[in-house]
Each structure stands twice: as structure tokens, then as C-alpha cells.
Amino acid sequence: MLQAEQILQDRYQIQRQLGNNGIRQTWLALDLQASDGENSTVVVKLLAFGGTVQWDDLKLFEREAQILKQLNHPRIPRYIDYFCIDDRTLWFALIQEYIPGESLKEKLAIGERF
């Protein structure tokens, strides 16, 4: 399990968890090696292989990374990186650009309707 301030790949410093659906975890992180010279905010999507996560889940996760790598659109978070965090526990990470926005879940929780 990741913790705040933990650094992945000597590059991505975990800040806070954005979501966890049992199969995937999503974290906000800083890219300490951002090309613009300043730390930039990124999203780290994690998938831990094993337990309830099966081969099909891993294949879909890898396919998502491959498709994002090929896309270039201002409304789609840009692909940055994909790697295995730990060969023993088989945690896989997909790094994407962070695009600020409001959470639909939070809006519904305060009673906003659409």
C-alpha cells in the first residue's frame, strides 16, 4: 500500500489518494523531474495483480496505457509513464497528466442534480 510522500521510480512523489475501487487505486502525485523545471501534478493509477485482480484486469490496464500513449487531445489526460513498481508484489502504475476538475461523486453528495 502506498503512503503520502512515498517516491516511485525516483520521480513521482505521492501526495494523496483520489480513489480506490478495490481493484484500482488512484493517487495525486508530483513529478519531481517534470520537463518544465517545476514539479508538476500527475495522476498515478495503480493495479495490484493477484487476489481479485485477474489476467483480464491486467490486460485491460496495459491496453489503457498503450491507447493513451497514442492519443493527443486537450481533453484527454496525457500519458506520461507506465511501469511495474515491485516485481515481488506485482504492482503496476500508469502515470497521466492531472487535469483539475470537480468530482461528480462530490457534487452528487451535496445534492446537486443534473
Q: What is the CATH number of the domain that holds 16?
A: 3.30.200.20
- Expressed as residue numbers, the domain containing 56 is 7-109
* Cross-strand bridge partners of residue 53: 50
Q: What pLDDT is stored for residue 38 in this prediction?
A: 61
Q: Which residues contact 83 (CB under 8 A, 6 or more apart)?
A: 9, 92, 93
- Asked whether residue 77 is domain-assigned, the answer is yes
- Asked whether residue 92 is domain-assigned, the answer is yes
Residue 1's nearest CA partner among 109, 85, 98, 76 is 85
Rg (CA), the chain: 15
Any idea which residue has 515491485 for its cell? 86
- Asked whether residue 22 is domain-assigned, the answer is yes
What's the total number of domains in the chain? 1
pLDDT at residue 1 tops 80 = no
Q: State pLDDT tens for residues 25-83.
A: 999 999 998 876 666 999 999 988 777 777 888 888 899 999 999 999 988 899 999 99
- Asked whether residue 114 is domain-assigned, the answer is no
* 26: number of Cβ within 10 Å: 15
pTM for the structure as a whole: 0.82
